[in-house]
Amino acid sequence: MGGLLGIVIVVLFLSSWPCSSTSRVLLQQEDNRRSLLSNGLALTPPMGWNTWNHFGCNIDEGVIRETADALVTTGLANLGYNYVNIDDCWAEIQRDSEGNLVAKRSTFPSGMNALADYMHDKGLKLGIYSDAGSQTCSQTMPGSLGHEEQDAKTFASWGVDYLKYDNCNNPGTSPQERYETMSKALQNSGRNIFFSLCEWGQNDPAKWAANVGNSWRTTGDIEDNWDSMTSRADENDQWASYAGPGGWNDPDMLEVGNGGMTTEEYRSHFSIWALAKAPLLIGCDVRSLSSETLEILSNSEVIAVNQDGLGVQGRKVKSNDGLEVWAGALSGGRVAVVLWNRSSSKASITAQWSDVGIQSSQAEVRDLWEHSTSEAEGKITATIDSHSCKMYVLTPK
Please write the tens of the pLDDT for every residue from 243-261: 999 999 999 999 999 999 9
Q: What is the DSSP string of 269-288?
A: HHHHHHHTT--EEE-S-GGG
- Structure confidence at residue 3 (pLDDT): 42
Task: Indicate the helix (H) or strand (E) that contains 343.
Answer: none
pLDDT in tens, 129-149: 999 999 999 999 999 999 999
How far is residue 205's CA from residue 207's CA, in Å, rounded to a whole number?
A: 5
- Structure confidence at residue 40 (pLDDT): 83
Q: Is the pLDDT of residue 180 over 60?
A: yes
Beta bridge partners of 372: 367
Between these two residues, 305 and 39, which has the higher pLDDT value? 305
How far is residue 245's CA from residue 311's CA, in Å, rounded to a whole number?
A: 6
Q: What confidence tier does 10 reach under pLDDT thresholds 50, 70, 90?
A: very low
Contact, 215 vs 248, CB < 8 A? yes
Strands of the sheet with 47-50, listed across from one edge: 248-250, 215-217, 194-197, 162-166, 125-131, 83-85, 47-50, 280-282
Q: What confidence tier does 367 reach under pLDDT thresholds 50, 70, 90?
A: very high
As a whole number, mean pLDDT of residues 2-27 equals: 46
Q: Which of 88, 131, 151, 166 is catalytic?
A: 166
81: left (phi over 0), alpha (psi -120 to 50) or beta: beta
* pTM for the model: 0.92
Q: What confidence tier does 19 reach under pLDDT thresholds 50, 70, 90?
A: very low
How far is residue 354's CA from residue 18's CA, in Å, rounded to a whole number?
A: 8
Q: Which of 221, 234, 355, 367 is catalytic?
A: 221
Known catalytic residue at 166: yes
Known catalytic residue at 131: no
- Structure confidence at residue 39 (pLDDT): 73
